[in-house]
Amino acid sequence: MIHFEWPWVLLLLPLPALARRILPEASTDRLAALRTPFLGELGLAGGRRAPAVDRRAMLMAAAAWLLLMLAAARPQWSGEPIQAPVAGRDLMLAVDLSGSMEVEDFQLDGRVVDRLTATKSVASGFIRRRSGDRLGLILFGRNAYLQVPLTFDRTTVEGLLMESAIGLAGKETAIGDAIGLAVKRLRDKAATSRVLVLLTDGANTAGAVSPLKAATLAAQSGLKIYTIGIGADEMLVQSLLGARRVNPSRDLDEQTLRGIAERTGGRYFRARDTAELEQIYALLDELEPVMDTSQAFRPTASLFAWPLGAALALCFALLLERSGPFRRE
């Protein structure tokens, strides 16, 4: 739609008519006599005055004044409302890429897959549901790397998670460094809530910072951490002596993961299969619901140039008609 930024300017529209009514009219007898020596033959004798301007010029001047006032009122075009997200929550995902994530103890769509493949499948749906939150991605193994800084672009976060590979950050597990990196990235952000979802299948075996010390720093910074321990409790392994049952999650340090969550006000979850992992991410949606913090704005464009250009064109045409080669005598 079109609206005026300064509509009060339109109150000046009747100003020329008021000025013509109030101010005394200038006599044009002498000017008319100079231009038309046959003044008497035109029926203008006996004290009658020649019209100052003809009807056509009057209409052109009135139209130019109207257009000038419309331009001065600053007409603007406003488009349809567009929803713009506003940061309500900063949510960082930290995903373990250590060597143990290649253990194939999960099932996905009827086929056996490794832990990272199952994590990608479930976490991608979680990312797509987080409309309105700023998301970030940390990948960690022996070292922790910020793969995606905080952004509203969920497609990029999901895409770079799907492109991650086991061993990309080293074969070991630096849980403390991953938490420390999240604290560094989230500490100074002006958000109403700061959350880290950390997924791992092992224990802290690398890094410069211990997980519990990093959790203490996170608590002091107002960062809430949800930890997820991933891996089945048992699986069948074929050997020369036949099949035997083993515990593929024997290295999972649940005590430390539980302590990290408790120190920061979060929760610890255990995911033994794909179904439990999906339930955990669904529960995270309930514990940290998406905030309705969107704001609507209308794109606007100024239109004053159009009436202003038309007014100038009319003034130029009027000037040519009154004093140029097309002057009407």
* Whole-number pLDDT of residue 199: 96
Residue 38's pLDDT band (boundaries 50, 70, 90)? very low
Q: What is the pLDDT of residues 81-96, one digit of tens each?
A: 665 555 467 899 999 9
Residue 45's pLDDT band (boundaries 50, 70, 90)? very low
Q: Are residues 40 and 120 in the same domain?
A: no
Q: Are residues 66 and 93 in the same domain?
A: no
Q: What is the mean pLDDT of residues 300-322?
A: 85
Token pair of 206 as six digits: 């690398």
The answer to whether position 62 is within a domain reads yes
The answer to whether position 27 is within a domain reads yes
| CATH code: domain of residue 205 | 3.40.50.410
Q: What is the mean pLDDT of residues 61-72?
A: 89
Q: What is the pLDDT of residues 195-253, one digit of tens each?
A: 999 999 989 999 999 999 999 999 999 999 999 999 988 877 666 666 777 788 888 99
Q: Are residues 209 and 75 in the same domain?
A: no
Q: What is the pLDDT of residues 268-294, one digit of tens each?
A: 999 999 999 999 999 998 888 866 555
The answer to whether position 293 is within a domain reads no
Q: Are residues 12 and 140 in the same domain?
A: no
Q: What is the mean pLDDT of residues 155-183?
A: 94
Q: What is the pLDDT of residues 173-194, one digit of tens each?
A: 999 999 999 999 888 766 678 8
The answer to whether position 200 is within a domain reads yes
Whole-prediction pTM: 0.63
Q: Are residues 165 and 204 in the same domain?
A: yes
Q: Are residues 76 and 58 in the same domain?
A: yes
* Whole-number pLDDT of residue 228: 96
Q: Which has the closest alpha carbon to 226: 190, 174, 173, 277?
A: 277
The answer to whether position 113 is within a domain reads yes
Residue 105's pLDDT band (boundaries 50, 70, 90)? confident
H/E/C letters for each residue in the chain? CEEECCHHHHHHCCHHHHHHHHCCCCCCHHHHHHHCCCCHHHCCCCCCCCCCCCHHHHHHHHHHHHHHHHHHCCEEEECCCEEECCCCEEEEEEEECCHHHHCCCEEECCEEECHHHHHHHHHHHHHHHCCCCEEEEEEECCCEEEEEEEECCHHHHHHHHHHCCCCCCCCCCCHHHHHHHHHHHHCCCCCCEEEEEEEECCCCCCCCCCHHHHHHHHHHCCEEEEEEEECCCCEEEEECCEEEEECCCCCCCHHHHHHHHHHHCCCEEEECCHHHHHHHHHHHHHHCCCCCCCEEECCEEECCHHHHHHHHHHHHHHHHHHHCCCCCC
Percent of the chain scored above 90 by pLDDT?
A: 42
Q: Are residues 147 and 194 in the same domain?
A: yes
* Domain of residue 47, residue span: 2-80+308-323
Q: Are residues 66 and 191 in the same domain?
A: no
Instruction: Determine the length of the chain.
Output: 329
* Whole-number pLDDT of residue 83: 59
Q: Are residues 13 and 158 in the same domain?
A: no
The answer to whether position 294 is within a domain reads no
The number of folded domains in the chain is 2
Q: Are residues 31 and 68 in the same domain?
A: yes
Q: Are residues 42 and 128 in the same domain?
A: no
Percent of the chain scored above 70 by pLDDT?
A: 81
* Whole-number pLDDT of residue 43: 45
Token pair of 146 as six digits: 């910020």
Q: Are residues 69 and 124 in the same domain?
A: no
Neighbours of 276 (CB within 10 A): 16
